[in-house]
Amino acid sequence: MQQNTYSAKVMEHFQNPRNVGEIEDADGVGNVGNPVCGDIMRLYIKVKNDMITEAKFQTLGCGAAIASSSVLTELVKGKTIAEAMTLRNDDVVKALGGLPDVKMHCSVLAEQALRKAIEDYRSKHGGAKKKEEKT
């Protein structure tokens, strides 16, 4: 059972979010939203040699949505595209020291924003799949 209050890490990322803003020449942009709660996230990534070198976000939403976006940008920087694709909402929750059950969707939105940013990057730089994965 999850706690009903925010962890100190969530409060820290909400009050002092990292990597807020827009990357004008982003290699990939992911836009997601939750119509039920009204949270909207936009994630920007810069990629060089298959490595995410920069990540920024713009989020309109609750403290958990902002904190999830902020910590996600820290988690993805320095990772290859393949490594970033393995990140899940559970990784966001763990990095935040947990989220209340009613705010878990915020970590899911962060994961979805990352996936969409990577899909956008791949569509602009050589197809939707990594060099035509062999089956």
Predicted confidence (pLDDT) per residue in 56-90, tens digit: 999 999 999 999 999 999 999 999 999 999 999 99
Q: Which of 11, 20, 29, 37 is catalytic?
A: 37
Q: What's the pLDDT at 3? A: 53
> Rounded CA gap, 68 and 134, in Å?
34
34 band by pLDDT with thresholds 50, 70 and 90: confident
8 A C-beta contact, residue 49 and residue 27: no
DSSP secondary structure, 19-78, as one string: SBS--TT-SEEEEEE-TTT--EEEEEEEEETTEEEEEEEEEES-HHHHHHHHHHHHHHTT
Q: What is the residue-averaged pLDDT of the chain?
A: 90
Which of the residues 96, 106, 113, 118 is marked catalytic?
106
Q: What is the pTM for the complete model shown? A: 0.88
Task: Check: CB of residue 55 under 8 Å from CB of residue 84.
Answer: no
Q: Do residues 30 and 20 make contact, with C-beta atoms less than 8 angstroms apart? A: no
> Could you give the domains of the chain?
8-123 (3.90.1010.10)
Q: Output the pLDDT for position 127.
A: 59
Whether 62 is catalytic:
no
